[in-house]
Structure 1
C-alpha cells in the first residue's frame, strides 16, 4: 500500500502546481481544481498505457466530462480514461460561458457600424421632413449679417451668394437639380453648367483652398450672366423682384408641363421651393422681401392640393346634369322619340325637370313650366368661352330631403337631385400669342356673370378665380349648360414673359456676303464652300 500511494501523491502535487501556475484563479477555484486533479489521477491507468488512454479519451462520450466538472467522485472503472487537471479547468471555462466568444464578436460588429461626424451625415440630403440646418458660430453669424448679406450690398449680389451656399449645403439629386434650375431660370438666373473651368480636376487647387474658395470655384449659379434672356444688373428696369409671382408661374405652368398631373412630382417641386425659401428667411438674406417670401411659402403648401383638384375636375366635369342636357338637346335624343318618351329617356327627362325646378332661377322655372312637352325645348346658341369663377353657391342640405320626399310621393324616387349655382364671368387664359388678347386688354368690369347648374361634389372642388375654357350651350328657356370642358386653370395661374425665352439664343453676326443684283447667289456659294466635302480619289 505504501508503494502504491507515493506515486499518487506525487501526481497530486504536480497537478496542483500546474493549476496554480497556469489558471491564475482564486483560492477557492484552486481547491476545486485540486480536487478535480485528485479524482482524475485516481482514475488514471498505469503510465505504461498512457498512449492508449489518450486514444480512448478522444472517442469518449461528451457526457462523461460533466461528472468530472461538477467535482463529484467518479465511479467509473480504473480503465476508463479522463482528462487531466488542465483540460478539466479549460472545459469548466468553456462550459460555463458557451456564448462568451459569440457575444464579444457581436459587440465588436455593433461598434463598427457606429458612425460619427461627417460620416454619420453622409445619407442626409437636407430635404427630410424634420431636417434643420446645423447651428452656426457667432463669428459666422456676424460675418453673414455684416458682410455676406449686408443690406448695403445690392440684392443681386446677396441672392447670388445665397444660391451658392444653399446648393453647397444640400444634396440635390438629378431630378431636384433639374427642377431647381428651371425655377432659377424662370427667375432670370443662369444655372447652366460651366464648361472648360477645370476646377473639378485640379486636385491641388482644391486641396489648398478653403471652403469659401471651393464654393466659388465649383459654383454654377451666377446673377447677371448668360446673355439677354437672363437678368442683367445694368438694365434692371425690365425686371422686378417677385418671389410670389415666380412661384405661381413655376407651379402652375412649368411643373405641369413637365409632369402633367403627377401628384408626387407636384409635391416634390413645391417642397423644393419651400426649402429654398426657408433658407433665405433663416439666413436673413433679404429682409425687405420677407412678406413676399411668406406669401410664396403659403402657396407652396396648398398648391399641390389645388393642382390635384384641377386634375379631378378635368376628368369629372361637366357633371351628370350637364351631360343629360347634352344628350337630350345636343345629341337629339328627345327629338328622336317621336312623341313616345319611355324607359331611360323618360328617366333623363324627369331628372332634367326636377333639377331645373329645384335649382334654377324663378324666371327659368316659369318658362319650363309653360312647356309640358320637352320636345319643344331646343338649343339656340353654342359658343366656346373662357370664364373665371366669380362665385360658388352650394345647395342647402334641407333641399335634398324636400326633393327626395316629393319624388318618392310622385313615384320617381332617386331620379333627380338639386344642384348648386356656379357663377362665371368671361375672362382670358394668358398665353404668348400675338393674336390673343391679354388680361390687361380684355375689359370684364362691366360684364355680368352667367349661371350654370352643377353638382355639389364638383362645386366643392372649384375655387374662386379658377379659369375654365368650355363649350357652352343656351336653351330657349334661358338655361345655360356646359357641353364640354376644354381646359381648367388653378386660381393662382400666371403666365410670365420669361417663359417665351426658353429656347432663345442671342443672334450672332453673319460674316457671309449678302446677295446682290450682280451676285444673287453669293450666300449659297459660300455655304456650299463651307459644307463641301472632298470626293475620294479613284
Structure 2
C-alpha cells in the first residue's frame, strides 16, 4: 500500500544504528513520539539487569537462561509490579534503545549487552507459566506435549463454585452405590487431564487390572468433544457420551450380590492398597522398564494423581484410609525400585557364582575370555579384548575358600581345604531346589572378616569382602507344588544364609523377594545358583487378570454326555472282572478312562 496523497513529512529522529532516520516513505510508519516517562522506564530496567541486582534475582535469572545472557520478552518485564504502570510497549521499547545496559533484539525482546561480571548468588528459578524449553535430548517434543497434563506432582483440580460443590456432594453421596461413584470419578478424572501415550497406557492397564473395562462409548459415533460442543451438548452430556471406562459386568454382579446378601463369599472386594501393591509389583514390572528411574516416577504419578483426586473430591470417604495407604505404596515403589535394580543385576554375586562354577551349577563351564576364544567359537564374533564370562576354576576356588575361611566353621574349612580344585572329590551337592526366598536380614562383614578379605585381595586382586544375606522360605504364589521327597526339601522354617559382597548388601533390605534355584553342599553351605525373578517387599499376587476374563462353563454338550456314559460303562466292566468287588474300579473317582475305549465314532457336535 502507498502513502496517503497529502501526508506530512516524518520528523527526523535518532535511529538505533546511529544514522539519522530519513523521511517516511511508502510502507513505513511515522516515528513514535517519546514516552512521557522514558527516563523512569530506562532507570528501572537498567536496575533490573544491572550486575548488582541480577546476580541476586532468581526469577529474572531464570527468564534469561540462568546466567543472564538470553533474550527475554518485554511482556515479562512489564509484568513486574513496578513496571505495570507503564503502557504502550512500542514506546517502552523505543525508550530502552537508549540503554547502555540492555539492547532491543528480535522485535519485542531485550537482552543484556554484556555478560555478568559478578558471581551468581542464587539458584535461578523458572516457573512453568513463563517458559517452556524443549529438552535437547528430546527434539521431537512439541509445545502441546509440554503443556500441563494434570499428572504433575502438585497438580490439583481447580476451585469449585458453590453450585459445583453441591453437585459433587449429591453425585458422590454415600447413599449412592460405590460402583456408580467410582465410575463417575474415573470419567471425570480422565476428562480433566491430558493423557500422553505413556500415561494413558499405565492408566488403561491399571483400570483393567482393577476390574474395569475400557472402550469408547458405542453411541458417540466418532464425534469429538469440539463437535459435540458445537451441537449444543452440555459438559456433563459430553462427558457421558465420551465415557471410556466402566466397571465390568462380572465385578458388578459380584459386588451387588454382596450388598444384597445373596453371595456368601466375595469374589471381588474393594482394596485400593492391595491393588496398588499388586499392580506395581506384578504387571507394571512385567510390561514396563521398572529399573528406569524416570519411568517409575512418571508411572506411579498416574496412580498417585488418581488417589489424590478420589480423596480431594470425597468420592468414597469410607475407603479414605485405603487410599492414603495406596498413595504411600507409590512413594515406596520409587524408593525401592532404585535399590532393587542394583540387587537384581548384582546377584547371585561372586561367592555364589564360585560355588556354581565348582559344583555343577548354572555357571559350570561358562568361563571364557576374549583371548581364549577361537575362530570356530560362536562367542568369538562378539567378544573383544577385556571381555570375560564367568569365573575360571582357579578364581572360583580362591573366592570359595576365602568365604569359608571368613565365615565358616573350623570343620567346614578343613573339609574345603582338603577338597580338590577341580571339584571331583571331597564335597558333594546334596540338595537342589527352585524355591522362593524373602530377605529377613543383612549382616555386614565384621572386622576379622574384613581384614582377611583385605589380605586375600592384596595378594590375588579379585576377592571382595562379603557379608551375609539372611533369607527365609517364601511361597511363590504361582509356583507348582514340589514333588521332591521331604529329605531333599529345605525346611520351611529354616533360615538360609548366603555370602554376598558387602557393596551389594548396602542396597539389600528386609522384604525383598526372589524366585531362585538354591543348592546345598554336604558341609551345610547353601548358595544361590541362579535367580529367575526379583520382587519388591510389597509384592502381592492377585488373580485379577484370570478372574476378569473367566467364563463359567456352560451345560455339557451331547458329545460330553456320551463320553461320560462310556466312561461309567468301562468302570462297571473293570469292577465285574475284579470279581464283583463293591470297591470302586481303578478309574472311578480318578478321572481315568479305559485306554482301549474307541472314540472314533464320537466326534464333537
Deviates more, 1:467-476 or 1:100-109: 100-109
Report the counterpart of residue 459 of structure 2 in structure 1.
412
- Residue 477 of structure 2 is aligned to residue 448 of structure 1: no
CA distance change for structure 1 residues 210 and 423 in 2, over 3 Å: closer, same or farther? same
Report the Cα offset of residue 199 of structure 1: 7.6
SS where residue 238 of structure 1 aligns? coil
The one-character-per-residue Cα deviations of 1:221-253 (angstroms, maximum 9, x if unpaired) are: 333xx4326664422332211101111111111
Work out which of the residue numbers 430, 455, 459 in structure 2 matches 1:381. Answer: 430
Report the counterpart of residue 414 of structure 2 in structure 1.
369
CA distance change for structure 1 residues 96 and 238 in 2, over 3 Å: closer, same or farther? closer
CA distance in 1, matches of 2:146, 2:399: 63
CA distance change for structure 1 residues 503 and 365 in 2, over 3 Å: closer, same or farther? farther
CA distance in 1, matches of 2:155, 2:33: 49
Does 1 or 2 have the higher relative contact order (CA < 8 Å, sep 6+)?
Answer: 1
- Residue 201 of structure 2 is aligned to residue 165 of structure 1: no
Report the counterpart of residue 400 of structure 2 in structure 1.
352
Work out which of the residue numbers 403, 420, 423 in structure 1 matches 2:470. Answer: 423
Work out which of the residue numbers 139, 145, 148 in structure 1 matches 2:171. Answer: 148
Is this contact kept in 2: 1:162–1:280, CA < 8 A?
Answer: yes
CA distance in 1, matches of 2:507, 2:518: 20
Report the Cα offset of residue 300 of structure 1: 0.9
The 5-angstrom pairing of residues 143-222 of structure 1 reads 143-145=167-169, 147-198=170-221, 200=223, 203=227, 207-222=231-246
CA distance in 1, matches of 2:480, 2:360: 34
Is this contact kept in 1: 2:9–2:24, CA < 8 A?
Answer: no
- Residue 277 of structure 2 is aligned to residue 275 of structure 1: no
The 5-angstrom pairing of residues 499-518 of structure 1 reads 499-501=545-547, 503-504=549-550
Structure 2 unaligned regions, length at least 5: 1-5, 13-18, 35-89, 95-103, 110-128, 131-142, 259-265, 366-390, 484-488, 564-600
RMSD (Å) for aligned C-alpha atoms:
4.8
Is this contact kept in 2: 1:388–1:465, CA < 8 A?
Answer: no
The one-character-per-residue Cα deviations of 1:483-504 (angstroms, maximum 9, x if unpaired) are: 2222222222222121213544
CA distance change for structure 1 residues 504 and 262 in 2, over 3 Å: closer, same or farther? farther
The 5-angstrom pairing of residues 101-500 of structure 1 reads 123-145=147-169, 147-198=170-221, 200=223, 203=227, 207-223=231-247, 226-228=248-250, 232-236=254-258, 237-259=266-288, 261=290, 263=292, 264-330=294-360, 348-360=396-408, 364-369=409-414, 372-375=417-420, 376-396=425-445, 398-399=447-448, 401-403=450-452, 406-407=455-456, 412=459, 414=461, 416-431=463-478, 447-500=493-546
CA distance change for structure 1 residues 210 and 346 in 2, over 3 Å: closer, same or farther? closer
The one-character-per-residue Cα deviations of 1:341-396 (angstroms, maximum 9, x if unpaired) are: xx975554343222222223xxx333323664232531232312323324223324
Larger radius of gyration: 1
CA distance change for structure 1 residues 419 and 377 in 2, over 3 Å: closer, same or farther? farther
CA distance in 1, matches of 2:540, 2:454: 47
CA distance in 2, matches of 1:291, 1:516: 55
Is this contact kept in 2: 1:377–1:475, CA < 8 A?
Answer: no
Is this contact kept in 2: 1:515–1:521, CA < 8 A?
Answer: no
CA distance in 1, matches of 2:539, 2:432: 24
TM-score (norm: length of structure 2): 0.57
CA distance in 2, matches of 1:121, 1:262: 24
Alignment length, in residue pairs?
416
Is this contact kept in 1: 2:441–2:470, CA < 8 A?
Answer: yes
The one-character-per-residue Cα deviations of 1:270-303 (angstroms, maximum 9, x if unpaired) are: 1111111111111122222222111211111231
Report the Cα offset of residue 401 of structure 1: 4.9
CA distance change for structure 1 residues 365 and 454 in 2, over 3 Å: closer, same or farther? farther
The 5-angstrom pairing of residues 91-110 of structure 1 reads none
Report the Cα offset of residue 179 of structure 1: 2.2
CA distance in 2, matches of 1:523, 1:474: 52
CA distance in 2, matches of 1:389, 1:301: 21
TM-score (norm: length of structure 1): 0.64
Report the Cα offset of residue 521 of structure 1: 8.3
CA distance in 2, matches of 1:354, 1:173: 54
CA distance in 2, matches of 1:155, 1:87: 74
CA distance change for structure 1 residues 297 and 101 in 2, over 3 Å: closer, same or farther? closer
Deviates more, 1:346-355 or 1:274-283: 346-355
